[in-house]
Amino acid sequence: MAKMYIENLLGENEKILVSARQHWFVVARAIALEITVILIIFIAMIVGTLTVQATEPNYVYAIFAVGLLCTLVPVGSMARDIMIWSHHQYYITNWRVIQVSGIFNKAVLDSSLDKINDVKLTQSALGRMFGYGDIEILTASEEGDNLFRLIDEPVRFKTAMTNAKENALRRKDMPTAASPEQSIPAMLAQLGELRTKGVLTEAEFQEKKALLLSKLK
């Protein structure tokens, strides 16, 4: 379902290059706490059963039933944590970097590759050992910087992001390059398509358009 959702967000000719999610440490830490709570409940059930068995045997089943009902809370919380982790994903496409979170209510945050000024990678000694770290994307957009915490294989993700940005900038500059096989009207049409797809801003479109029209004079 998560894959189908991100596919619906992609523009025409946009494709996913790399996908990632938070390291399994994130969900393992939450599950460990919930397993501890379940064990405490079972120990309390056993102690309670042994305590009342000799004096009030009729209450044994009641204690057992209450204990089972109590275990539903950490079990449900565990299932929720796993679903949140599995639906919190990061994608690099040939246009942008996308962060998608939420199980039913979705939150999508993306950064255009041409707006990324720098990428900061932070890894602790433990993070280098187990392959996780934080990636902070410094952008020129109004939304500000984006922080991806405890992402799995951050070095691979950062490298893929850098390569995708370089390739995007090369494609962005191509329409302004004079080519004997491509007329200026055709290049103007291509610039219009890039603006429509969001690759070029309105200001960038007007700048490159003016440059091309100046060659007709």
pLDDT confidence of residue 141: 62
35 and 128 fall within a common domain: no
Are 98 and 44 part of one and the same domain?
Answer: no
pTM above 0.75, yes or no: no
Residues 33 and 71 in one domain: yes
* 44 contacts: CB under 8 Å, gap ≥ 6: 67
Q: Judge contact between 21 and 90, C-beta under 8 A.
A: yes
- Does residue 127 or residue 2 have the better pLDDT? 127
pLDDT at 180: 40
Q: Which of 44 and 204 is assigned the larger pLDDT?
A: 44
Give backbone dihedrals phi and psi of 120, rounded to 5 degrees, phi first. Answer: -105, 125
CA distance 120 to 170: 23
Q: Do 99 and 135 belong to one domain?
A: yes
Handedness of CA 98, 102, 106, 109 (dihedral sign): negative
CA-CA-CA-CA torsion for 57, 63, 65, 71, nearest 10 degrees?
Answer: -150
pLDDT value, residue 159? 93
Same domain, 125 and 201: no
Residue 199: domain span? 177-214
Whether residue 216 has pLDDT greater than 90: no
The count of domains in the chain is 3
Nearest to 163 by CA among 89, 110, 113: 113
Please state, in angstroms and rounded to a whole number, the distance separating the CA atoms of residues 66 and 52. Answer: 14
Q: Are residues 94 and 71 in the same domain?
A: no
List, for residues 140-158, the tens digit of each pLDDT value.
665 567 889 999 999 999 9
pLDDT at 75 over 80: yes
Q: What is the mean pLDDT of residues 124-147?
A: 84
- Could you count the other beta carbons within 10 Å of the beta carbon of residue 129? 9
Same-domain status, 17 and 31: no
- pLDDT tops 50 at residue 176: no
